[in-house]
Every structure is written in C-alpha cells, then in structure tokens.
Amino acid sequence: MKKFLKILKWSALTIVSIIVLFIVYVLIRPESTFEKPYPEITASTDSSLIARGKYLVYGPAHCAYCHAPSNEFQKVEAGEIVPLTGGNVFALPVGNIYVPNITSDKTTGIGGYTDGELARTLRYGVKRNGEALLDFMPFYDISDEDLTAIISYLRNEPAVSNPVPQNEWNFLGKIVKALGMIKPMGDGDVPTSPKPDSTAEYGKYLAGSVANCRGCHTKRDLMTGGYIGTDYAGQMTFEVLDENGKIIPGKHFVSPNLTPDKETGRIAYWPQETFVKRFQAGRVIAGSPMPWGAFSRLNENDLMALHKYLHSLQPVHSQTPAGVQEGDPG
C-alpha cells in the first residue's frame, strides 16, 4: 500500500510539474514569426487606379464592414464613404481581437507602413513584425493590379488619428499562439487578373478572390478555417447581427447553397435580371451577415459576371437542416 501511495504521489507531482512547465512555456514563449516576400507593389497617384481601389474597398472587397467604426454601420449600409478608422472588436474564444485603423495616419494608422509591408499583409496574412494574422482578410489571391489599386486608394484616404488597443489574448489564445496554430494563409501563387467584364471567368475571380463568396458559402472548420465542404454549397453558420452590426447572442444564420442544383440551390431558378436586381436592392433580411450595403454598389457587369459563374458550377445537392434560418445569397 505504501509503495502504491508513493507511486501515486510521484505521479501527481510529475503531472503538476508538467502542467506548470506548460503554463510557463505558454506565457513566456515569443510569438512565431514568418519570413514572407514583399510583393513588388508600388502605390500610384493615377486617378483611375485610385477610383478602382475605392470601388473595391467600399464595394466587392467590403473592407468598410470591419474597418469602419461600429457606430457608423448604418452609414456604411447606406453607401456613405466612412473613414476606415478601425476600433471594432471581435470577442472570440481566444480573446478580444481589435480591427486596426487603416487610414493614412502615420501614428495610429498605416501611414508609417511601406507599400511592400501593406502588400505582404494582404497577400500572405503576415503583419509588419512577421507575426501571422487571424484569417479575417482572405484576399490572398487578389491580383497585383487590384492590390495596387487598393493600396493606392488607402494612401490617398485622409489621415484620421484613432489609437486602437492591442489584441487581448486570453489563456486559450496564448496556447493557440504558443503551439503555432496561427499561420500565414497565402501561398503567393496569384493568377493574372482577368479583364473586368461580364464573363464567367471574371465572375470566378470576383467570387473567389475579392468578394469572398466562397469563404462564406462553403462549410469551414471553425478551428482552422480550412474548407471542409463543397465549394459554394453553403452550410456555413454565422451569428445574427443587429442594426448596428453587433452580434445577437443565441441566433444564427446558415449560408445557402449557391450551386445551380434544382432542388436545393437558392438561386438555381434566378434569371440574370432577378439576380442583379436583388443585389441592387440591398439588405432585405434583418441580421444577415451579408455585407449588403457594399454588395449593392457592385456595378452591373460585375453582378452579371457573378451570376454567370455561379450558374456554371456543378450542381450540388445541399439542403439546409430543418429549423435553421437560411441567410441571404451572395
């Protein structure tokens, strides 16, 4: 009996020691940094390129939905140009993640960043100091041309001073970071941008690389962000938002199937005109996570391209579970 108690005692001490060492490791381990190349992107003062960047930022890329202050949400929905001063917070299981100020202010915004640093952040998901970002900005495959346009516009946006707190990682978040679970997402293999027109080819580029239709309308692992469902077949779960863009606890939407399946495809029977008019109408379903204010500003050629591409997909039978509210298509 004494031998058993002795073994039990040393086993308990060993376990406690391992736990203590792990906690110390988590608390003192520096965050992993990554070496990624700086894309050869240089901001331009060309007015047409800046206009393209503005269209992308407030339209298909819907940057304003995160980077505009939450109290300006209704203005963003209405199509107003709101300074992208950041400050919003995502309360996640890993901690509070704050959205940065991306105006040209040199102290609190991106004014002190080089074009290459900004381009690397968008292309690879790597911060200025080499740390990886959470997968909130899936624009890794956006073309060099459009990346240049976006940075050119941001460089010309008026500087607004708005200090934003550093991210507040809780212990779970520190474990995630210590184990190296946050990694760069972009691979740098970016195709040449197709010419903006109303073709299915350009619609594929918009849906997959700019508007992030794939990211919301494909089921993903909520821990890793990896795709585990068929592209555009829906089934991704989202929180319901109130009129100020804040999450309503306990309510959820599920993204619908956008493939042209005749039984379960949400837009399978929509002719092009119906699709275009639906987007131009803006928000209809309250609380939908779709950035309708931004998407309602897409020009008609882009909307026609998206419709052609989505209707060119292989039909997939993907039924939303009974009793679950299905969100708007997009």
Q: What is the pLDDT of residue 61?
A: 95
Q: What is the pLDDT of residue 263?
A: 94
Q: What is the pLDDT of residue 323?
A: 46
Decide: 139 and 32 in contact? Cβ < 8 Å.
no
Residues 6+ apart with CB under 8 A from 28: none
Residues 6+ apart with CB under 8 A from 247: 91, 239, 240, 241
Q: What is the pLDDT of residue 39?
A: 93
Residues 6+ apart with CB under 8 A from 253: 237, 238, 239, 240, 287, 288, 289, 325, 326, 327
Say how far apart CA 192 and CA 197 lie, in whole Å.
15
Please report, in tens digits, the pLDDT of each residue of the chain (330 residues total). 666 555 665 566 666 556 655 565 455 666 778 889 999 999 999 999 999 999 999 999 999 989 999 888 889 888 889 999 999 888 888 889 999 999 999 999 999 999 999 999 999 999 998 888 888 888 899 999 999 999 999 999 899 999 999 999 888 888 888 777 788 887 777 877 778 999 999 999 999 999 999 988 999 876 666 788 899 999 888 877 666 656 777 777 889 999 999 999 999 999 999 999 999 999 888 778 889 999 999 999 999 999 999 999 999 998 776 545 555 554
Q: CA nearest 57: which of 134, 157, 133, 124?
A: 157
